[in-house]
């Protein structure tokens, strides 16, 4: 078997059809039912089998919100044409990194390829032509053994359920794993004056979040504390809030100077409260200590 490369696919459930009895999902090599991400070919990172030589290249195709799964492929060293087995010459750019031992075989496919000048393969009769029941496919719509796939490829190359030569491909599935961030990588980061360690703050909050009084003025979540803005952001916020306090004070001053402003008692009370509230908030935002444990 020749290592062929890697790909990610959105695996489709088997159609509710008597021809797919016993099949749970479609893991065929063909892209007709279980499809690769859109625009995967536009990266031009794939080889002439239509797969990627590196797992990282294949994973680049994953959409942001994905239900795609990671596969690796090995190709049998013979291609079948009109019943005859011919030696397979793999394209020169098919040079994938070794398939990790964590990948597990889910079955074997017999797939057509009508032109060697095109990248990738064409159709899998098991799924594309609903031959899964006739050929005793497994739950993944693949042949359970290599010998069964070879016999089918030889037959398909004669019967031509899909036009072209036929290849036998082992399908292996791996896990899409993402590296966890290393907390030690942030341990040596120096804090600027007025900053606090966000990781330590969150740990402290998580350890005490169920303590009595937590929602009655005790420690609140770090991202809700005003000093999480940082010293510079607090000063900018104080200026913004102070502007509205000054605007309120200016309105009151203009009303006093002009005399008959048309303001009623409710207007005077409302603007005065607005001015005092925003003025107090601006002063506290600018002067409160960033190390306040309560974020008050």
Work out the mean pLDDT of the chain and round it to a whole number. 79
- Write out pLDDT tens, residues 259-283: 655 667 777 777 788 788 878 877 7
User: Does pLDDT of 227 surpass 60?
Assistant: no
Q: Which residues of 209-248 are buried (b: 16+ CB within 10 A; e: fewer)?
A: eeeeeeeeeebeebeebbbbeeeeebeebbeebbebbeeb
Looking at residue 285, what is its pLDDT? 73
Query: What does residue 190 show for φ and ψ, rounded to 5 degrees?
Result: -85, 135
Q: Which helix (H) or strand (E) holds 59?
A: helix 55-59
pLDDT of residue 223: 60
Mean pLDDT: which of 82-96, 116-130, 180-194, 243-257 is highest?
82-96
Q: Which of 5, 13, 28, 10 is nearest to 65 (CA)?
A: 10
Angle at 207 between CA 203 and CA 212, to 5 degrees: 140
Model pLDDT for residues 74-131, shown as the tens digit of each residue: 999 999 999 999 999 888 889 999 999 999 999 999 999 988 766 678 899 998 888 8
Instruction: Check residue 224 and give its pLDDT.
Output: 59
Q: Can you tell me the mean pLDDT for 175-203?
A: 63
More confident residue, 43 or 128: 128
């Amino acid at each position: 078997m020749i290592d062929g490369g890697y790909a990610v696919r959105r695996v489709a459930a088997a159609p509710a059809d008597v021809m797919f009895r016993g099949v749970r999902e479609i893991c065929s090599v063909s892209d007709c039912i279980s499809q690769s991400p859109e625009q995967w070919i536009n990266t031009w990172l794939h080889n002439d089998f239509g797969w990627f030589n590196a797992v990282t290249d294949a994973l680049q195709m994953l959409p942001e919100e994905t239900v795609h799964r990671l596969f690796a492929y090995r190709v049998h060293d013979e291609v079948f044409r009109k019943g005859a087995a011919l030696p397979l010459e793999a394209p020169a750019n098919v040079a994938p990194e070794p398939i990790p031992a964590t990948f597990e075989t889910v079955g074997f496919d017999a797939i057509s390829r009508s032109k060697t000048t095109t990248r990738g393969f064409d159709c899998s009769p098991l799924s594309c032509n609903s031959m899964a029941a006739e050929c005793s496919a497994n739950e993944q719509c693949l042949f359970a053994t290599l010998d069964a796939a070879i016999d089918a490829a030889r037959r398909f190359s004669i019967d031509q359920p899909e036009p072209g030569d036929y290849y036998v491909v082992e399908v292996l599935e791996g896990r899409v794993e993402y590296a966890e961030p290393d907390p030690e990588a942030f341990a040596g980061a120096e804090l600027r004056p007025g900053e606090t360690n966000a990781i330590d703050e969150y740990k402290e909050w998580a350890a005490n979040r169920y303590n009595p009084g937590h929602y009655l003025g005790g420690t609140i979540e770090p991202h809700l504390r005003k000093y999480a803005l940082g010293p510079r952001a607090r000063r900018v916020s104080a200026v913004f809030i102070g502007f509205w306090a000054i605007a309120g004070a200016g309105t009151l001053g203009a009303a006093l100077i002009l005399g008959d402003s048309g303001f009623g008692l409710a207007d005077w009370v409302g603007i005065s409260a607005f001015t005092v509230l925003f003025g107090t908030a601006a002063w506290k935002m600018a002067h409160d200590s960033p190390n306040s444990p309560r974020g008050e």
